[in-house]
Amino acid sequence: MTETVYLTPPQEVMKSSKKGLALREKFGRGSTHIGISLAKEIIQGNDLEPQTIIRMSSYFSRHAVDKKAKNFGNDENPSKGYIAWLLWGGDAGQKWADEIKKKLSI
């Protein structure tokens, strides 16, 4: 029997993306148009394409080093990497994307 794979971002992922959009608007930095577009797609709460989730997992793998930067996690003066990380779904997005990628056996 095949396990059901839900491609709808969980609430925590949507919450992180919303926070990232708010910080980006407030500070005018962090991410590219790709990250901003993804955040908007995530907060709609619709299913994401499997390729999008795989791309998310890859993003988090490449950008884990950003968590070591000054002001990562600082909501008062956030680093660009922190804002981008949130736009992509934050820690919850990383966990979810990695789990979905495994379930898709890719």
Specify if 95 maps to a domain: yes
Host H or E run for residue 61: helix 50-63
Specify if 87 maps to a domain: yes
Q: What is the pLDDT of residue 77?
A: 97
Q: What is the pLDDT of residue 4?
A: 64
Structural domain for 85, as ranges: 11-103
Specify if 70 maps to a domain: yes
Q: What is the pLDDT of residue 2?
A: 53
pLDDT in tens, the chain (106 residues): 456 677 999 999 999 999 999 999 999 999 899 999 999 999 999 999 999 999 999 999 999 999 999 999 999 999 999 999 999 999 999 999 999 999 987 5
3-state secondary structure (DSSP) of residue 100 = helix
Question: pTM for the complete prediction?
Answer: 0.93
Specify if 33 maps to a domain: yes
Specify if 2 maps to a domain: no
Specify if 4 maps to a domain: no
Q: What is the pLDDT of residue 1?
A: 43
Number of domains the chain contains: 1
